[in-house]
Amino acid sequence: MSRPSSLPQKTNEASEIALLDRDQSILAFNERVLDWAKRPEVPLLERLRYLCIVSSNLDEFFEVRADLHMSAFRANDKKGLYNTHTFENIYEYARRLVNEQYRLYNDVLLPKLEKEGIRILSHGERNLVQRKWVSDYFHREVRPLLVPVGLDPAHPFPQVANKSLNFIVQLSGKDAFGKTNDIAIVKVPRVLPRVIPLPGKIASKGVSFVLLSSVIRAHLSALFPGRHVGQFSQFRVTRNSDLSVDEEDVENLRTALRRGLQHRQFGLALRLEVSDSCAGHLSDFLLKQFGLPDRSLFRVAGPVNLVRLGQLIDLAEHPKLLFSPYKASYPKQLTKGASVMARMRQGDILIHQPFESFDGVLAFLKEAVDDPQVLAIKQTIYRTGSDPAMMNLLREGVRRGKEVTVVVELKARFDEEANINWAEQLESVGAQVVYGVVGLKTHAKMLLVTRKEGRTLKRYGHLSTGNYNPRTAKLYTDLSYLTCDVAMTSDMDRLFVHLASPSRLSRMRKLITAPFHMQRKLIEKIDVVGAAALKGLPARVVVKMNALTDPTLIHALIRAGQKGAQIDLIVRGACMLPAGVTGQTDNIRVRSIIGRFLEHSRVFYFEAGDAQELFLASADWMSRNMTRRIELGWPVNDPILRRRIIDECLLAYLYDTRNAWTLEADGQYHRVEKNGQKVQSAQALLMGQYVETHRHK
């Protein structure tokens, strides 16, 4: 797929190398995800799932990132970091990606699904019996929830919620009051399912579905008795969804956020999607109503929300068209039913998710709740999802008399409402709930247990690169670390005290934290590697993370590379460092791994002469993580665990020849060429390795 060339980001110093454009890099990541939907070796329904994932990612891109470009366009800014050119470039890139999605959906996936006996029937493809069933369904389940709005001075254009399904309809004739209002809007409630299975007795061979948009389209005339329905189109608008709350100026952050959530659905419009057959005057009318320029219009050849097609994957009930089920093994350093804390006293424990299960973390928390000698439990909550397992354990801890303190990040984007609800439930049973430091998101993942042992108190800690979310723990690669190291758990306790009170953060002995000193510490370590390279000593940096967009850290890496250090960056998503530029970044290589599981772990390795250091962290190398979030990183000193992390999280990915993409000097990504090498997937290798471990345990 052709795409615009990457735009350089402006830098503070003219002598510095120009960085790649962050937003184009985000879109390029989605192009790599879409590649999985194109691969014939991927099970068919999984290909559809990847198509849906890209649509979901693009929705979030417009909700969060597009406003900067749209504002610059509206201000006719031609010179700023975000300007009219970046607006045109980003929207055009997104349009090409969307067009490729629908080409793949219509020309490849739908025909292949039909061959497998899975059909999505349009109105024209439905036989008389099926049409009768659909008509009955419409009148019974759908029509009672639809309230068409005919536009006139008494009925202005209605509020259209973010990403909701709607129809615009042109009418002829007069209404019951003799008026000739010729435009009507039909808003479709979210409660209605978007994918509807037909009963088996009337389905074609296999299973058949109809889409809600097709059902409504076929019965629009029933919504306007006495009027003639002319041209029409489904449409959807994407709005700015970043919540803006001045924490310094509110008395209750939770209340302010809840109010803000009520208005999120009606933020500034940024993208309009219509059917590709939508008449020009109707799309122009919608653009005017939403105050959008022509370039923000996306004409699509199918349903305007591909995300909701994910419902079909489960409804189809066709396991042969899905990935083979993968059952994570129980953490190999733990034994089911045995004390986790007793094992921690023997040494640190590493859990590599999703190859090892999250059950080990739940077992640690459950043991703490059940143990009468445990006095206090402290935990950070960023994204827990809807799974109640951890929340139920924390509430049970309160019931059993433990001192439970939970730092809830209310501003976790798109999880605000869930986190507010959890906070209220925990408070209702007597847990101490705090919301961290004003102006900073608490993104650190830590759980600290204090236990009375004889006359002393001993702390047991859990640190993680990912969230306390049992569902995503099955889908994301992350590293959990269990330790009772005195220095490390003392640092954790200091950080909890800082989050819960106005006290200054005490000096850390082992943890590196943002926004206090993580960025500075990382730069120091990179500079040490660069100095070793100048002396001709072994000098290497290998980093695995989700995004690399912090200019300060990027330039530190570039300086070290120019001194001769060898630098390998495994960056799943956005990366602004232009690798392999002759004379500037020759010693830096960037690769991205897109696989069955979402790569989410953060691992930082530094080698300078005989010294080797390895850190795990909650933070990506982004400016927001370094300066506007509470983050933490921790060293792995145990030689066996360090070797395991290097082998499983770094080397396996550096030698991946199936799912790896390399970033070239021109800012474009290319699939790694095999060149006679054995085809190897890091994730497949680890899945097989842990299955074997589980089998022989």
Q: How far apart are CA 189 and CA 147, in angstroms?
A: 10
Q: What is the mean pLDDT of residues 89-105?
A: 97
pLDDT of residue 697: 52
Q: What is the pLDDT of residues 617-674, one digit of tens each?
A: 999 999 999 999 989 999 999 999 999 999 999 999 999 999 999 999 888 999 997 7
Q: What is the mean pLDDT of residues 281-294?
A: 96
Q: What is the pLDDT of residues 223-245, one digit of tens each?
A: 998 888 999 999 999 998 765 54
Instruction: Please say whether the beta carbons of 368 and 460 come within 8 A.
Output: yes
- Residue 513 in 3-state DSSP? strand
Q: What is the mean pLDDT of residues 37-54?
A: 97
pLDDT of residue 75: 93
Q: What is the mean pLDDT of residues 490-504?
A: 88
Instruction: Please say whether the beta carbons of 575 and 25 come within 8 A.
Output: yes
Mean pLDDT of the chain: 90
Q: Of 75-84, 94-103, 269-278, 288-297, which range is least confident?
A: 75-84
Residue 676 has pLDDT above 50, yes or no: yes
Q: What is the pLDDT of residues 440-485, one digit of tens each?
A: 888 899 999 999 999 999 999 999 999 888 889 999 999 999 999 9
CATH C-level class of 8-321: alpha beta
DSSP letters for 628-676: SEEEEEEE---HHHHHHHIIIIIIHHHT--SSEEEE-TTS-EEEPP-TT
Residues 6+ apart with CB under 8 A from 137: 196, 215
Residue 11 has pLDDT above 50, yes or no: no
The token duo for 150 is: 């005919």
- Identical fold for domains 8-321 and 340-510, yes or no, is no
Residue 527 has pLDDT above 80, yes or no: yes
Q: Is 116 exposed, middle or buried (0-12, 13-18, 19+ CB in 10 A)?
A: middle
pLDDT of residue 440: 83
Query: Phi and psi dihedrals of 171, rounded to 5?
Result: -120, 150
Residue 4 has pLDDT above 50, yes or no: no
CB count in 10 Å sphere of residue 337? 6
CATH code 2.60.40.10 for 340-510: no
Residue with tokens 């530094």: 606
Count, residues in the chain: 697
Q: Does 358 or 691 have the greater pLDDT score?
A: 358
The CATH fold of domain 514-696: Endonuclease; Chain A (3.30.870)
Q: How far apart are CA 408 and CA 314, in angstroms?
A: 32
- Residue 544 in 3-state DSSP? strand
> Which positions are annotated as active-site residues?
443
- Residue 142 in 3-state DSSP? helix
Q: How far apart are CA 200 and CA 522, in angstroms?
A: 60
pLDDT of residue 666: 86
pLDDT of residue 439: 76
Q: How far apart are CA 137 and CA 198, in angstroms?
A: 10
Q: What is the pLDDT of residues 324-340, one digit of tens each?
A: 999 999 999 999 999 99
Residue 176 has pLDDT above 70, yes or no: no
Q: What is the pLDDT of residues 140-175, one digit of tens each?
A: 999 999 989 888 766 788 899 999 999 999 998 665
Q: What is the pLDDT of residues 387-435, one digit of tens each?
A: 788 889 999 999 999 999 988 877 655 556 666 777 788 888 888 888 7
pLDDT of residue 255: 62
pTM: 0.91
CA angle (433 as vertex; 428, 437 as ends), nearest 5: 155
pLDDT of residue 1: 42
pLDDT of residue 691: 82
Map out the domains of the chain as residue ranges. 8-321, 340-510, 514-696
Q: How far apart are CA 542 and CA 538, in angstroms?
A: 13
Instruction: Please say whether the beta carbons of 572 and 656 come within 8 A.
Output: no
